[in-house]
A and B are shown apart, each in its own frame.
Chain A
Amino acid sequence: MRKSITFYGLTFSLPMLVWQALFFLAPLLFLIALSFWSVRNFRMEPDFNPDNWTRMLGRAVFWQAYLRTFLLSASAAVITSILAFPCAYAIAFKLSETARRWAIFLMVIPFFTSYLVRVYSWQIFLSDNGIFNALFAQVGIGPFGMLNSSFGVMIGYLTLSFPLVVLLQLFSLVFVDKTLIEAAHNLHCGRLRTVFEVIVPSAKVGLVIAALFCFILTFGDFVSPLYLGGGDPPTLSILITDTTKSGQQWPRAAVIALTMIATLLAVAFAAVSFAYRERGR
């Protein structure tokens, strides 16, 4: 059912519409225009030149970076969701009301410190002479090359998205109808099985949105791939900075940015339609 847009609805949503138009839609249109500009003698000139697109999308380096970024973010979404779920589950179903409030508070605390600071401090733990390798040396193993690897990037991605994913999962789990859980138990479904048969499907929308947020946050992240992944091989975000630095190629960087936006829109659309898909007619 479609509701007609009311005067009040329009009035209240006006600030958001203005904001979106000014700071999302307008820059996006400019970015699209920019991707067709030319660069001559390190200077940009307005133009309608599809060359940037064919050059960028024709390069193996671009597609390697694209694939790597996509896989890293997709893995982060899956790994973070799996690690976050038991945590969110315990907070939602096992803790008392008071304990739950404290747990939510603790989940918010990491956002007090800058993400960059948290990633830098991971370097101290993960580097070849870092804390972890020193501990491993105590038991006679290692050293492991944890910094400047995909493992390092993944640690950074977890740092970035774990608390948020837990919170998003938690808010969908607390709204799971408790009667459905009892009904499942009553119909011969044991405790663990109920988690997968009833709780996960009931909270599906929230769980998918949490994973989607993780994907979105990590897909565009620049900090972890650079400081914990070493920046080589590059992710798309690193490729953007490299492209702008080499010969003022802002138009080609715009091409990368636009493919990223298109990817995020496609992934977000697919995720949301999966989340809201209904069984049966």
Chain B
Amino acid sequence: MTDQALVVFDGVAKRFGNFVAVEKLNLEIRKGEFLAIMGSSGCGKTTTLRMLAGLEAPSEGEIRLDGKRINDLPTWNRDTPMVWQSLALFPFLTVRENVEFSLRMRGADKAARRRRVDKWLERMQITEFADRNVAHLSGGQRQRVALARSLVTEPQILLLDEPLSALDAHLKVRMQSVLSNLQRELGITFVYVTHSQSEAFSMADRVVIMSRGRIEQIGNPQEIYRAPRTKFVAEFLGSSNIFAGEVSNVSEAAVKISTPAGEFDVVPNAAKPLSKGNKATFVVSDDRLHLSNRPPEDRLNRLQASVVGEEFVGATAVIHLEGAERIEIKVQKSHDELEQLNLEPGAQVWVSWRPDATHILPGE
């Protein structure tokens, strides 16, 4: 345990009957970091957050906050406020009363309460709505009320459970910058649960990717994007082409991997020493593949495939291809580049890439 760790999950498991929501989780959350926990629904990310908030009790293991075991500390005695997906604002209280709630529960005196609430209303720019009913606010205003209500006790950690998923795209981006700035200014720890890669990658210092109650990978967004550890992470990020095969030759500069789609040169990965005969899986990002109608010059990794279809993604397009043995390949290109090519469905194209565009998955 580093001395920077604020929260430590030490072999924490959570079972609901026969269902294992979280399996043997070991995780350190550092002081003052913005940590995103990401995964598809049912991966255990929300359960992990709820255990930290004290809304679920771990079946096994220990959770420590500031070095103290908090397993048996009821949620109302922890200072781990949470922002819910539904925000869970109290509809029978005004904005001011909502923000004041936790201070009143802690028995703060009236003058102190007023000062603190005024400060947070001001900070979240909702002072003018103080006496409004929360039901009469817009989505963005309600977000700010929820944040003010959670932060009014000035805790050292804030838990967020997909708080932006109900907002429209524009407001979402704006709230993302509100959250990032807030976290930087306050210097407290944010733990942010989401299924959205764009939210996690644009805000977080570190990202935890979970699947079936287990951590697949922890790292900063760049690391995870360029060097996924497992097939799951590569598939979850959705922009990688995955090739699995057997090592046929190892040299200083390259590893040759023989896959059903052909034999390819791959850059060795220090995290995964390979020798001849080992099974190995490598990925190539869809934006690092080249497309051409004619066979490309030699020495590049290449394969032939037929066009299945095209998918527009704003400024770029993703071409879906099918290679030998029904291998699916995705290539992302700008519209300009695609105009030079014949990409009728069924057309034969060559896909090629440089060995240094590849990444061997160390976890496979």
Contacts and interface: CB of A to CB of B under 8 A. Distances in A.
A138 interface: no
A179 B94 contact: no
B249 interface: no
A180 B82 contact: no
B76 A185 contact: yes
B97 A186 contact: no
B133 A278 contact: yes
A280 interface: yes
Interface residues of A, number: 23
B92 A204 contact: yes
A43 interface: no
B235 interface: no
A180 B88 contact: yes
A202 B92 contact: yes
B230 to A, nearest CB: 33
Contacts of B91: 202
Contacts, number: 80
A183 B145 CA distance: 14
B350 interface: no
B136 A186 contact: no
A279 B94 contact: yes
B93 A279 contact: yes
B90 A198 contact: yes
A193 interface: yes
Interface stretch (B101-109, B185-193, B281-289): B101-109
Interface in A153-207: 177, 179-180, 182-191, 193, 197-198, 201-202, 204
B53 interface: yes
A279 B133 contact: yes
A179 B105 contact: no
Contacts of B150: 187
B90 A281 contact: no
Nearest to A179: B88
B320 to A, nearest CB: 41
A88 B24 CA distance: 39
Interface in B42-77: 53-55, 74-77
Contacts of B75: 182, 185-186
B86 interface: yes
Nearest to B135: A278
Highest count of chain A CB atoms <10 Å: which of B54, B86, B88, B97 = B88
B80 interface: yes
B86 A280 contact: no
Nearest to B150: A187
Contacts of B149: 187
A279 B95 CA distance: 10
B148 to A, nearest CB: 12
A160 B86 CA distance: 41
Contacts of A189: 76, 101-102, 105
A28 B76 CA distance: 56
B53 A186 contact: yes
B131 interface: yes
A177 B247 CA distance: 56
B163 interface: no
B132 interface: yes
Given A186-B81, A204-B92, A193 B133 contact: no
A187 B74 contact: no
B232 interface: no
Contacts of B136: 280-281
Contacts of A179: 84, 86, 88
A67 to B, nearest CB: 34
Nearest to A198: B90
B79 to A, nearest CB: 8
A5 to B, nearest CB: 27
A275 to B, nearest CB: 11
Given A279-B133, A280-B133, A281-B136, A188 B105 contact: yes
A180 B248 CA distance: 60
Contacts of B81: 186-187
Given A179-B86, A180-B90, A279-B93, A186 B80 contact: yes
Contacts of A202: 91-92
Contacts of B94: 279-280
Nearest to A180: B88
Interface string A266-281: 0000000000001111
Nearest to A277: B92
Contacts of A191: 76
Interface of B: 53-55, 74-77, 80-82, 84, 86, 88, 90-95, 97, 101-102, 105-106, 131-136, 149-150, 153
5 contacts: A184-B90, A187-B101, A188-B76, A197-B101, A202-B91
Given A190-B76, A197-B101, A280-B132, 12 more contacts: A177-B88, A182-B84, A183-B90, A184-B101, A185-B74, A186-B76, A186-B81, A187-B149, A197-B105, A201-B90, A201-B92, A201-B93
